[in-house]
Chains A and B, each alone.
Chain A
């Protein structure tokens, strides 16, 4: 368990809701949920969620910290924004789900082999290298995330798809050698490092 998680548990011992309000993106909206369930019924992957957004909101208020933050539920969000469009209370539910997922990951509580979580990190690392996404490397990193053997299997299974994309010039082998990049990668990396420092300091200050 991470030090930050221990510190947060200490500080917000009595209220998980307060912890969410202070540290999760758009978390201050959670208390506005009136438990109507429209979000749960509107989610395209609704039945894949261990706990629907409606349920997560109630669990937060009930102090079910461990059950919420260690769940893979939030990682089921496809960012379709249906829940936001329909919520009668105007809660930015999509963002709260993203925020909860990110916070759980920051604390080291999210399930380790959750594929969307892995993909999200691979995506972020990929774009940070050159300032733009390298689609070929993104695909390959995802195929090979569970080791070389599994990677070859995945690549073989998707071989035809790759060939089709290459033929249509919508995938390029050249991307393996450098690929597209912004000019000011160092400026972008410094900028993001600073943004991360500001955000970390804010959350550390809350711990």
Chain B
């Protein structure tokens, strides 16, 4: 396999001691196995996420992402900018497109960037890691790397919102994307193509500010996975992962349910299937242990 180099934008929650540091570890393991080199963008900043609109106006918000693209163009020229976080990817791609369409906004963003001695050319493709896997690596190559198929595991693919809308993955439907099912099948597990909560919102940032409303939605996401006999839920999104995993105690107390459903990243599934151990696959970063995956990893 040809070695691939990408300009990597990890995002705040991927940092050591942050809420999706486990995703970062599994992503690194997965990329090592697939011979993808992650060249971290030096001094990258927060993208503003989906809640940044309240405090920051349009231009300040777009400028945050413009800084990251400018740094990527300066330090990792010729490489696609790749994010693993749904919000990072969405904000960056949104900024790239809006600054492309609106020349006044582009000029204003560059005036602001000049204060930090940076300049945006805005020529860099902004991609999600999932696009790299599907379009550059391919399901067949992923299948060929599998040493320990995840046999006997039934996994609900929870794509969530922002990896899917408004941009989504090429040739996938907004209502029923299937790439995550294909990934699950590729590593030898059983997907649930009819899992109806695949693109249901988890509440996003409102899981924090409006917990009652959000937990009702999360309850539905987990309940449907149980209804389909799922052993695990897998997701590409750090906020989806956290929201669906960490509030299960509170949801059980609120709704009288007895949920104890592990929620993992696709990168963790791949790391285990590629033969790496629990630690490399960041299974120790679960709040709800993914025992079935640990068993396969320990074999």
Contacts and interface: CB of A to CB of B under 8 A. Distances in A.
Nearest to B13: A135
Interface of A: 25, 44-45, 48, 75-76, 78-82, 84-86, 92, 94, 98-99, 101-102, 105-106, 115-121, 123-125, 127, 131-133, 135, 139, 142, 160-161, 164-165, 168-172, 174-175, 180, 182-184, 187-188, 190-196, 198-199
B117 interface: yes
Interface stretch (B31-39, B134-142, B199-207): B199-207
B293 to A, nearest CB: 15
A152 B7 CA distance: 42
B151 interface: no
B166 interface: yes
B45 A142 contact: no
**SS of A interface (majority):** helix
B27 interface: no
Contacts of B161: 78-82
Nearest to A25: B58
A135 B208 CA distance: 12
B54 A174 contact: no
A80 B56 contact: no
B112 A198 contact: yes
Contact of B52 (A44, A115, A124, A161): A124
Interface centre among B54, B174, B284 (most CB of A within 10 A): B54
Nearest to A48: B213
Nearest to B284: A168
Contact of A170 (B21, B44, B46, B63): B21
B17 interface: yes
A112 to B, nearest CB: 13
A78 B46 contact: no
B201 A82 contact: yes
Contact of B17 (A85, A169, A183): A169
A165 B287 contact: yes
B209 A182 contact: no
26 contacts: A48-B210, A78-B205, A78-B214, A80-B204, A81-B165, A86-B174, A101-B54, A102-B54, A102-B58, A116-B51, A117-B54, A120-B51, A132-B15, A169-B22, A170-B285, A182-B44, A183-B43, A184-B43, A187-B116, A187-B118, A191-B67, A191-B112, A192-B56, A194-B114, A195-B57, A195-B108
Interface centre among B59, B213, B287 (most CB of A within 10 A): B59
A118 to B, nearest CB: 7
B249 interface: yes
A45 B202 CA distance: 10
Interface in B48-89: 48-60, 63-64, 67
B57 A124 contact: no
Interface string B114-154: 11111000000000000000000000000000000000000
B113 interface: yes
A44 B217 contact: yes
B166 A123 contact: no
B157 interface: no
B265 to A, nearest CB: 13
A178 B140 CA distance: 45
B284 A182 contact: no
A132 B55 contact: no
Contact of A184 (B52, B109, B116, B250): B116
Given A121-B55, A180-B18, A198-B111, 9 more contacts: A80-B204, A82-B201, A116-B205, A131-B46, A132-B15, A135-B12, A171-B19, A180-B12, A191-B113
Contacts of B117: 187
